[in-house]
């Protein structure tokens, strides 16, 4: 019954001899076996992921998991009235979901990160088979009959158990179990088709090539260190627009508009031919499915179980935010036009989509004297990771220990144990895959591996997760150097990992990251604030050539001013994605359906900046096909919550390093997951009702405008 939403993604260099770094803390004196023994003392289980597998084993493991699940489901379906109890109905179904998801999660990682294309292909096939089976679970009438019969006994349950019972029956209703046989079979068929095409959309996205070769003159303004890394011949530099760090470096620094345009269009059309037909098909199927289930739109269906409750409410939130941003957005566009005029020679230039990163970067440099590329020297990757670990150790009361992975799918895969500092209880395991390579997921994301769960034998399964990154690779003369945005991104994604690992919930359906989708980003977005705090940055950020040199306070203040200076345009870009996502999942006219890409482009162009008519951002917008469909609004929704949560740290005695507030975050939000209403969890952390004021302050909006 539980949908597989396992990834949480974020959109995102003197000649000194540098020793090759191992990109990790020194290995712990503890071994994994010793940590597992330690976990056993707490009646818990600590489990690494098995990467020592073959395509054939993936197939056989999938078949075995499905066979086992069928046996468990058969047992639930055969229960007589006198046998019904919570343990063999509701808890038993949570057990089935957990076992299937554990297999599914690992295959998700293999599909997104394994270097062997045969392994990735096998994982795709396995995921498709598991998705089809997962849909089929929803249509096991015998299982539903037993669950409903148990509910009709009106059992006296604890609050969490009652919540799990209610949510389970609600999900069966949303799957169509209350429909007649003909409609139910149609719903099941459509869901399987959607799952099939969603998987193929992601595969096409990852496999798409968006490499362009430029001359040095074409790349005027791009940092020399970057050019060294992408040089492929005499005056030839190959940039992959499908790799976010490469795209952003060129888009932010290249003076030549034609180069920026070519790169932007390569990125936005990289899977156009294959994925536009898939996008149209899936969006149409979703509309059909929503109608069969009695909903006005797919947006209404999706958002019913989230904090926003309906597509209309979510769109209203976005439109109000869009209007509130308009005065500041107009001011920023005027600044952007001045900057473009200075480079183009035109007195009345139009700012296009491919200008955005460049003019934003130039505004920071010219008006605020901020050169983000120059700031990279303060953020060598190893130092950032170690410093981030120390920050999270302090605020959450944990220790992070580097281990040797028992198996690997790539040589530099890292493994860390998360341990409670007060009790020495192992809390979970975290893998990190740091650098880009062909066929690998090309952004930053946290993937669930094993969810937290109280097992049938009474032991608690501690979580395992993986953080997939795409940091710049080290060069011969310098370590991997991050820009500030990449530092912010890793803090964000590591927050997702902590959310997954610090759970204490008994049921996998509610543990860790299994929270409403318009809330799941809030805790991690709140942790982004840490990377703007001088005290936090001074704890780890230092010039790798002379570690005694910290980021000057005045530069950080200018960076903050520069960030605020372009905040309205940044949010308008995000809103363009979110509004487009909602509108293509709400009722459309016949013309809009017939020219879906044109309709999507018109929304993007109206809310943000115009692009070329050949653009097809919809064809590579992975969020719409990996579980965030009718859900992208959740980033802005969650950001409003995040700003409020961050204000608690800002007012604490030790600021963002305050362990008392950090522990409250761990206990009131991370530990409880979705075992209670997340709005209640947020208010318990805040110690008051939620407020929009911190968010308005963050984005530079006068509270009177909204």
User: Distance between CA 80 and CA 622 in Å, rounded?
Assistant: 45
Taking CA atoms, 593 is separated from 268, 281, 290, 302, 597, in Å, by 20, 10, 16, 20, 9
Better pLDDT: 692 or 260: 260
* pLDDT above 70: percentage of residues in the chain: 95
Per-residue pLDDT tens digits for 397-442: 999 999 999 999 999 999 999 999 999 999 999 999 999 999 999 8
Report residue 135's pLDDT band, with 50, 70 and 90 as the boundaries. Answer: confident
Per-residue pLDDT tens digits for 504-560: 999 999 999 999 999 999 999 999 999 999 999 999 999 999 999 999 999 899 889
Tell me phi and psi for residue 511, to 5 degrees: -85, 155
| Positions of CATH 1.20.1050.40 in the chain | 50-205
Give me the pLDDT at residue 84, please.
98
Helices 633-650 and 567-584, packing angle to 10 deg: 140
Give me the pLDDT at residue 15, please.
27
Is 21's pLDDT higher than 80?
A: no
For tokens 């209640």, name the residue: 680
User: Distance between CA 605 and CA 615 in Å, rounded?
Assistant: 11
- In this structure, what token pair is assigned to residue 250? 């060129």
For residues 214-228, give the mean pLDDT.
96
User: Distance between CA 658 and CA 645 in Å, rounded?
Assistant: 13
Contacts of 668 (CB under 8 A, 6+ apart): 681, 684, 685
Cα dihedral 120, 122, 123, 126, rounded to 10, equals 160
> Mean pLDDT score of the chain, rounded to an integer?
93
User: Distance between CA 70 and CA 66 in Å, rounded?
Assistant: 6
Q: Name all contacts of 115-121 with Cβ < 8 Å and 24+ positions apart.
A: 115/409, 115/410, 115/437, 115/438, 115/439, 115/440, 116/409, 117/439, 118/55, 119/53, 119/54, 119/55, 119/58, 119/409, 120/439, 121/55
Give the full edge-to-edge strand order of the sheet including 44-45: 44-45, 460-461, 453-454
For residues 272-282, give the mean pLDDT.
97
For tokens 């947020």, name the residue: 682
Is 28's pLDDT higher than 70?
A: no
- In this structure, what token pair is assigned to residue 57? 């084993």
Per-residue pLDDT tens digits for 610-635: 999 999 999 999 999 988 999 999 99
For tokens 């180069």, name the residue: 259
Per-residue pLDDT tens digits for 319-364: 989 988 899 999 999 999 999 999 988 878 899 999 999 999 999 8
CB atoms within 10 A of CB 684: 15
* pLDDT above 90: percentage of residues in the chain: 83
- In this structure, what token pair is assigned to residue 587? 């009722």
The full DSSP string for 12-68 is -------PPP-SSPPBPSS-HHHHHHHHHHTTEE---------HHHHHHHHHHHHHH
Contact predicate 351/261, CB 8 Å: no
Better pLDDT: 450 or 19: 450
Per-residue pLDDT tens digits for 302-318: 999 999 999 999 999 99
First to last CA, the chain: 39
Contact predicate 77/104, CB 8 Å: no
Catalytic residue positions? 493
Better pLDDT: 686 or 558: 686
**CA Rg value for the chain:** 25
Q: Residue 403's beta-bridge partner residues?
A: 415
Report residue 19's pLDDT band, with 50, 70 and 90 as the boundaries. Answer: very low
With residue 468 as reference, give the H or E element that holds it. strand 464-468
Is 222's pLDDT higher than 80?
A: yes
* Domain covering 50-205 assigned CATH 1.10.20.10 in the classification: no
Contact predicate 357/373, CB 8 Å: no
Contacts of 692 (CB under 8 A, 6+ apart): 640, 644, 703, 706
The full DSSP string for 170-238 is HHHHHHTTTS-HHHHHHHHHHHHHHHHHHHHHHHHHHH---EEEE-TTTTTTS-HHHHHHHEEETTEEE
Tell me phi and psi for residue 648, to 5 degrees: -70, -45
3-state class of 595 per DSSP?
coil
β-pair type (464-468, 426-433):
parallel
Report residue 27's pLDDT band, with 50, 70 and 90 as the boundaries. Answer: low
Report residue 20's pLDDT band, with 50, 70 and 90 as the boundaries. Answer: very low
Give me the pLDDT at residue 25, please.
59
For tokens 């959109």, name the residue: 11
3-state class of 559 per DSSP?
helix
Contact predicate 307/678, CB 8 Å: yes
With residue 594 as reference, give the H or E element that holds it. helix 590-594
Judge residue 455's burial from the number of C-beta atoms within 10 Å of its C-beta, 0-12 exposed, 13-18 middle, 19 or more buried: middle
Length of the chain, in residues:
706
Give me the pLDDT at residue 317, please.
92
CB atoms within 10 A of CB 490: 25
Q: Which of 150, 132, 133 lies closest to 73, judged by CA?
A: 133
Give me the pLDDT at residue 439, please.
92
Is 13's pLDDT higher than 50?
A: no
Give me the pLDDT at residue 231, please.
96
User: Distance between CA 676 and CA 512 in Å, rounded?
Assistant: 12
Report residue 280's pLDDT band, with 50, 70 and 90 as the boundaries. Answer: very high
């Amino acid at each position: 019954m539980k949908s597989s939403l396992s990834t949480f993604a974020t959109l995102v260099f003197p000649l000194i001899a540098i020793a090759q770094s191992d990109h990790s803390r020194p290995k712990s004196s503890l071994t994994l076996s010793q940590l597992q023994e330690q976990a056993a003392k707490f009646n818990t289980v600590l489990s690494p992921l098995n990467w020592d597998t073959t395509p054939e084993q993936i197939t056989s493991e999938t078949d075995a998991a499905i066979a086992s699940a069928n046996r468990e489901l058969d047992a639930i379906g055969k229960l007589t009235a006198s046998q019904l109890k919570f343990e063999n109905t509701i808890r038993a179904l949570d057990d089935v979901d957990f076992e299937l998801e554990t297999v599914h999660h690992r295959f998700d990682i293999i599909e997104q990160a394994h270097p062997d294309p045969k392994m990735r292909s096998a994982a795709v096939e396995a995921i498709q088979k598991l998705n089809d089976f997962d849909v089929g679970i929803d249509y096991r009438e015998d299982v539903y009959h037993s669950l409903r019969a148990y509910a009709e006994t009106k059992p006296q349950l604890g609050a969490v158990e009652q919540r799990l019972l209610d949510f389970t029956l609600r999900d069966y209703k949303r799957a169509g179990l209350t429909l007649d046989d003909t409609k139910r079979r149609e719903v099941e068929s459509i869901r399987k088709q959607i799952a099939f095409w969603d998987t193929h959309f992601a595969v096409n996205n990852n496999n798409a090539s968006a490499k362009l070769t430029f001359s040095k003159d074409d790349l005027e303004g791009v940092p020399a260190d970057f050019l060294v890394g992408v040089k492929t011949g005499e005056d030839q530099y190959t940039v992959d627009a499908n790799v976010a760090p490469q795209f952003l470096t060129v888009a932010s620094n290249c003076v030549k508009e034609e180069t920026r345009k070519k790169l932007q269009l390569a990125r936005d059309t990289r899977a156009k031919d294959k994925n536009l037909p898939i996008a149209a098909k899936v969006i149409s199927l979703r509309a059909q499915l929503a109608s069969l289930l009695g909903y006005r739109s797919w947006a209404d269906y999706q958002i019913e179980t989230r904090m926003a409750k309906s597509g209309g409410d979510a769109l209203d939130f976005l439109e109000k935010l869009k209007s509130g941003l308009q005065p500041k957005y107009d001011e920023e566009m005027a600044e952007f036009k001045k900057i473009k005029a200075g480079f183009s020679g035109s007195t009345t230039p139009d700012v296009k989509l491919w200008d955005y990163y460049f003019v934003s970067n130039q505004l920071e440099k010219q008006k605020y004297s901020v050169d983000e590329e120059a700031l990279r020297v303060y953020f060598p990757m190893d130092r950032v990771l170690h410093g981030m670990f120390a920050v999270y150790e302090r605020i959450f009361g944990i220790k992070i220990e580097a281990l040797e992975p028992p198996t690997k799918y790539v040589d530099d895969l890292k493994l860390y144990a998360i341990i409670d500092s007060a009790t020495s209880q192992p809390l979970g395991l975290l893998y990190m895959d740091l650098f880009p390579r062909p066929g690998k997921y090309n952004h930053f994301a946290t993937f669930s591996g094993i969810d937290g769960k109280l097992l049938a034998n009474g032991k608690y399964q501690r979580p395992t997760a993986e953080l997939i990154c795409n940091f710049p690779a080290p060069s011969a003369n310098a370590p991997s150097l991050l820009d500030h945005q990449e530092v912010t991104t890793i803090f964000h994604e590591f927050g997702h990992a902590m959310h997954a690992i610090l759970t204490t919930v008994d049921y996998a359906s509610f543990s860790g990251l299994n929270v409403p989708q318009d809330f799941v980003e809030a805790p991690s977005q709140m942790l982004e604030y840490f990377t703007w705090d001088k005290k936090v940055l001074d704890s780890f950020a230092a010039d790798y050539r002379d570690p005694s040199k910290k980021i000057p306070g005045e530069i950080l203040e200018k960076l903050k001013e520069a960030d605020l200076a372009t905040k309205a345009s940044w949010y308008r870009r995000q809103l363009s994605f979110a509004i487009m996502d909602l509108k293509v999942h709400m009722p459309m006219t016949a013309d809009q359906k017939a020219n879906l890409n044109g309709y999507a482009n018109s929304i993007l162009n109206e809310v943000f900046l115009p692009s070329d008519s050949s653009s097809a951002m919809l064809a590579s917008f992975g969020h719409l096909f990996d579980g965030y469909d009718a859900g992208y609004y959740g980033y802005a929704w969650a950001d409003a919550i995040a700003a409020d949560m961050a204000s608690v740290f800002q007012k604490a005695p030790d600021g963002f390093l305050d362990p008392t507030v950090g522990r409250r975050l761990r206990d009131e939000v991370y530990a409880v997951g979705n075992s209670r209403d997340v709005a209640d969890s947020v208010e318990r952390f805040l110690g008051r009702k939620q407020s929009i004021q911190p968010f308005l302050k963050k984005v530079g909006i006068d509270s009177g405008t909204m």
